[in-house]
Amino acid sequence: MNTRKISALSIFLILAISLSACSTSPAKATLPAPTEAVQTEQPQQSAPTTTESNPVIGSLSSYQAALEEIYAKVNPSVVNIQVIEKAQLASNTTTENPFANIPGFQFYFGSPSTPNQQSPSQPTQALGSGFVWNKDGYIVTNNHVVANAEKIQVKFSDGTIANAKVVGTDVNSDLAVIQLVDYTGTLYPITTSESTEVKVGQVAIAIGNPYGLENTMTVGIVSALGRTLPTDQSSNSGTSFTIPDIIQTDAPINPGNSGGVLVNDQGQLIGVTAAIESSSGANAGIGFAIPSSTVNKVIPALIKDGKYEHAYLGLTGTTLTPDLATAMNLDANQRGVLVIAVANGGPADKAGLMGSSKTVTLNGIETQVGGDIITAIDGESLNSIDDLISYLASHTEVGQAVKLTILRNGTEKTLDATVVARPASVEQTSNQTNPSSKNNASSSAWMGVSVTPMTADIAKEMGMPTDQKGLLLQQVVSGGPADLAGLIGSYKPVIINAKRVMIGGDVITSIENQAITSVDDLQLALASKNPGDQIQLTVIRDGSEYTVSVTLAEKPAS
């Protein structure tokens, strides 16, 4: 049985609650009788208040001392990351964005004004946070902080500045590792812990560089566990991947905290601050951190191989709700994951899983039903899609066999599947030419975008009709064909179904007058094209339709 020393923070909270719950009846106040003259006397010296005589002051002192100790221990490990980003297509706006030079705003924080006119490409500066991983000079931060970095500098708490280079990145966990170059100073690695031991209500302390204000500490609690955040990568079918087991905290987190630390009352890392939910772009008491259990798995692989391979089943699913269960003639209390679609040739496909085969209207919304329902994996019951994602991330590795318990037409079956490495992003898979030219790299026409299909929820958030079809531009590669043509990627984060989604970019509705509604449509439209070919795209921007000419290029070497 694990025992744990109760910290001064916990003692203070307990005492504060106990004392506030106690009260004594005040003595009746008596006013002095009026006199004709007031005698001036030296006031009687009161005895000094001591922590022994006042438990509130004593516990407060302990609380403050504990915070001071944690800050002194952790702060030398936390760094300010200064990034010069590669030239990107800048945009003039009707209202100046006050967060333009703060790191991570275009990805996780801030609300830039909607662009309406293009200006020449130019380098930009960005700031973020990070922390020392080990004494070999490796620094951990968020992928989105350094994803487009051309030059990186690291500033330590003592003011020392050193250059750094990217060692490895993982968009699927939004983690990255950079390494100091020619640095000879003393390094103070962070002490990590396992976030699987974290409980809701425990103290959570964030240290980072909000708004560029270096070495800022804020304090709160762990508000919730098991949240998910979508990544900036999609599958070949356009399905977004998610980061599981996210820690939610009310410790104030603001733009610039990205890549900083969330520690417990022992000063041990429990998460990497990555995102907030806010209508204003500033702290609203809902912050998200990538759990240390994920960090402890991903970072060593990034240091060793420059990448991390995530387990992949190859299916799109959703949580089985009572309405969905009833529509499929199942008990309304049935729990599990409804399989919506299965990737061709993927593990789920090879195992024989079946996707949904029909649609029904539930609460006025077209909904897919009829697929297999996964009720357990390796004997572990599944109540939601998040349970499945979490299990794959925490308990499986590439090449591992798993047993899936499913319901098909009301009958229980067991299927065997072998998980594989998560495939490359849309950008890497959507730019292949037709099969006859796959071996000819020079014939690969490249547009330089990553996309995701429009959904009713995304359309609603963007002020469009809920039945709007097309592909939403998520990212536009700097200097690529789409960038040069003036296309705009998504820049505004919103939370949809408790998941972070980037919106606000151009929506491609057709190519050469051919409707585009899925990633497959995009692949097909590009399959017959060659580098140098010009294509006409129809896009929707700010509710208006435009025609944009894009000159395709040859895909750059990876």
Q: Where are the beta strands (DSSP E) in 372-528?
A: 373-377, 380-381, 401-408, 411-418, 420-421, 445-446, 449-453, 471-476, 492-496, 499-503, 507-511, 514-515
258: number of Cβ within 10 Å: 34
Active site residue 395: no
Of 170, 174, 386, 387, the catalytic one is: 174
Q: Report residue 419 as tokens.
A: 């998980």
SS3 (DSSP) at 443: helix
- In 394-433, which positions are buried (b, 16+ CB within 10 angstroms) versus exposed (e)? eebeeeeebebbbbbeeeeeebebebbebbebbbeebbbb
Using CA of residue 441, residue 443, residue 447, residue 451, what is the dihedral sign? negative
User: 549 near 536, Cβ under 8 Å?
Assistant: yes
Out of 193, 258, 292, 478, pick the active-site residue.
258
Q: How far apart are CA 295 and CA 198, in angstroms?
A: 15
| Structure token pair of residue 46 | 């009161």
Q: Answer yes or no: 258 catalytic.
A: yes
Dihedral angle sign, alpha carbons of residues 34, 38, 44, 46: positive
Single out the catalytic residue among 77, 129, 144, 430. 144
Residues with Cβ within 8 Å of 204's Cβ and at least 6 positions away in sequence, in order, are: 219, 220, 221, 222, 247, 249, 250, 251, 262, 263, 264, 270
Q: Which residue has the tokens 């439209």?
A: 525
Catalytic (active site) residue 144:
yes
- Give me the active site residues, please: 144, 174, 258
